[in-house]
């Protein structure tokens, strides 16, 4: 039940294109390295449709695709790391600029060549070398993967990945069906997964039924949906599987239909209108069973006006799993069962932070950081996504700073204030 790799590549290319101009990236001085990464990724993405088709029967191609997937996941982590470090430096800029505001020396704090305060330019040097080295390593790996691709004689798509349906802006980017094991904590999510999977496979009526996972942004709806999507019972019970990241920024309904058609093995040809694409979708789905995830739905009409009719008319069995923040959206879509996701209890929130930060399971380090870590976790308010972002910061902080408990807590709580605005924008 692998994710749709070419779709993921398109989203990654789009995300790289968007973040390159962010202030958080500019202050680190890694724009050129990220542009190089984007160009390499865009070149490789042109062969992924053919690679995905061939990997089913060719183990060598499958291995090549898996290696590329690993690099793409690392590239996502690099983007997050750049944004986190850059945001932290920009916060420091604001603090130091305010301190100097009443002094004539404030005029000297700008560096004409980079248009950022001198403080951030100096502070960014160690981060820049560290991150630039990571990006260079990724580019080297991509270069090797690109060399290896030549022996497979892939069909190269004539269409630029940036023109394709699945390129979205940074705000609408979401993870697909891949799920790191370290994201799973507590028994509740396992129990919910098992319960929902049984509901999905036990109802044998030859009809289309829709289920919903509801909760506030960042609370773990997508994680639960990923566990369900990757469950072996779901894999065995349905012939076709598709994961569509919708989001409130998905403006082209024809693009969404094209992505669904590709996900279930169809081709769009020259079709451009909704009616033409719905006809193609009907032909691909006819007489087959389908498990469909619509992730991060804001508008019920995506299902009602676009997908529902073709799916109900043609599939022998269809189960749709929707994630949304609004009960009303789930009800309007016709959900027969709605599962509400609650915030993580404090102990499980701490467990998630430990899994993300202390990858070597150093018990003495975990205990030493527990008091500070618990205070940080409390500020994350039980939101797994917030905890993961903060974990990314913790990993990069200097060991000497971590050993100074009071200073470290001050720095981390300050960064949390910076992130709270971002959390509110993306998760409410």
251 vs 264: CA distance, rounded Å: 22
pLDDT tier at 288 (50, 70, 90 boundaries)?
very high
Full DSSP string of 151-216: GGTPPPPSS-GGGSTT---GGG----S---GGG--SSHHHHHHHHHHHHHHH---SSEEEEEEE--
Higher pLDDT, 385 or 163: 385
Q: Which of 72-76, 102-106, 259-263 has the lowest mean pLDDT?
A: 102-106
Query: Residue 394 above 60 pLDDT?
Result: yes
**Domain chopping of the chain, boundaries:** 5-170, 186-340, 346-427
Query: Residue 113 above 60 pLDDT?
Result: no
* DSSP 8-state assignment for residue 304: I
Q: What angle do CA 129, 132, 134 make, to 5 degrees?
A: 110
Q: In the CATH scheme, what architecture does the domain 186-340 have?
A: 3-Layer(aba) Sandwich (3.40)
pTM: 0.59
Query: Residue 347 above 70 pLDDT?
Result: yes
Query: Residue 318 above 90 pLDDT?
Result: yes
Among candidates 322, 367, 145, 164, which has minimal Cα distance to 254? 164
pLDDT at 421: 52
Percent of the chain with pLDDT over 90: 26
pLDDT at 242: 92
401 vs 384: CA distance, rounded Å: 25
pLDDT tier at 287 (50, 70, 90 boundaries)?
very high
Q: Over range 87-112, report the average pLDDT.
A: 44
Q: Which of 5-19, 84-98, 222-236, 402-416 has the lowest mean pLDDT?
A: 84-98
Q: Over range 320-337, report the average pLDDT.
A: 95
Among candidates 152, 90, 109, 167, which has minimal Cα distance to 419? 90
Query: Residue 54 above 50 pLDDT?
Result: yes
* Helices and strands per DSSP (H, E), number in the chain: 19, 7
Cβ(208)–Cβ(334) below 8 Å: no
**Strand-pair category, 317-324 with 337-340:** unpaired
Q: Over range 188-201, report the average pLDDT.
A: 90
Query: Residue 336 above 60 pLDDT?
Result: yes
Q: Which of 72-76, 81-85, 226-230 has the lowest mean pLDDT?
A: 81-85
3-state helix vs strand vs coil in the chain, percent to 5: 65, 10, 25
pLDDT at 4: 61
pLDDT tier at 419 (50, 70, 90 boundaries)?
low
148 vs 165: CA distance, rounded Å: 27
Query: Residue 309 above 90 pLDDT?
Result: yes
pLDDT tier at 210 (50, 70, 90 boundaries)?
very high
The 10s digit of each residue's pLDDT in 158-175 is 555 444 433 333 333 333
pLDDT tier at 110 (50, 70, 90 boundaries)?
very low
Q: At 7, which helix (H) or strand (E)?
A: helix 5-19
């Amino acid at each position: 039940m692998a994710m749709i790799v070419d779709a993921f590549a398109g989203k990654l290319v789009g995300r790289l294109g968007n973040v390159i101009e962010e202030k958080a990236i500019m202050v680190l001085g890694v724009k050129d390295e990220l542009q190089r990464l984007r160009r390499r990724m865009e070149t490789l993405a042109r062969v992924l449709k053919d690679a995905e088709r061939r990997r089913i029967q060719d183990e060598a191609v499958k291995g090549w695709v898996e290696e590329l997937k690993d690099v793409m996941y690392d590239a996502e982590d690099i983007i997050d790391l750049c944004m986190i470090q850059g945001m932290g430096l920009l916060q420091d800029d604001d603090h130091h600029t305010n301190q100097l505001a009443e002094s004539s020396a404030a005029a000297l704090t700008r560096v004409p060549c980079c248009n950022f305060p001198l403080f951030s330019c100096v502070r960014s040097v160690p981060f820049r070398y560290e991150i630039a080295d990571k990006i260079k390593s990724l580019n080297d790996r991509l270069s090797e993967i690109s060399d290896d691709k030549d022996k497979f004689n892939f069909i190269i798509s004539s269409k630029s990945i940036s023109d394709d349906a699945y390129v979205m802006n940074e705000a609408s980017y979401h993870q697909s069906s891949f799920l790191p094991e370290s994201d799973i904590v507590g028994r509740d999510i396992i129990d919910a997964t098992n319960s929902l999977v049984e509901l999905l496979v036990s109802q044998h009526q030859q009809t289309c039924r829709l289920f919903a996972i509801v909760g506030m942004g960042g609370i773990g709806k997508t994680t639960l949906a990923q566990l369900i999507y990757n469950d072996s019972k779901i894999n065995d019970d349905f012939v076709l599987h598709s994961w569509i990241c919708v989001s409130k920024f998905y403006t082209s309904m024809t693009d969404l239909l094209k992505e669904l058609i590709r996900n279930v093995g169809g081709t769009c040809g020259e079709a451009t209108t909704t009616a033409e694409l719905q006809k193609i979708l009907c032909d691909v789905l006819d007489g087959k069973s389908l498990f469909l995830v619509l992730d991060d739905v804001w508008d019920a009409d995506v299902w009602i006006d676009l997908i529902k009719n073709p799916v109900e008319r043609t599939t022998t069995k269809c189960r749709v799993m929707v994630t949304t923040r609004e009960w009303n959206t789930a009800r309007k879509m016709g959900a027969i069962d709605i599962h509400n996701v609650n915030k993580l209890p404090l102990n499980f929130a701490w467990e998630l932070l430990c899994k993300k930060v202390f990858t070597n399971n150093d018990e003495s380090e975990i205990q030493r950081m527990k008091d500070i870590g618990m205070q940080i976790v409390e500020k994350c308010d039980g939101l797994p996504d917030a905890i993961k972002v903060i974990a990314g910061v913790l990993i990069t902080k200097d060991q000497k700073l971590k050993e100074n408990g009071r200073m470290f807590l001050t720095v981390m709580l300050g960064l949390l204030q910076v992130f709270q605005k971002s959390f509110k924008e993306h998760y409410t």
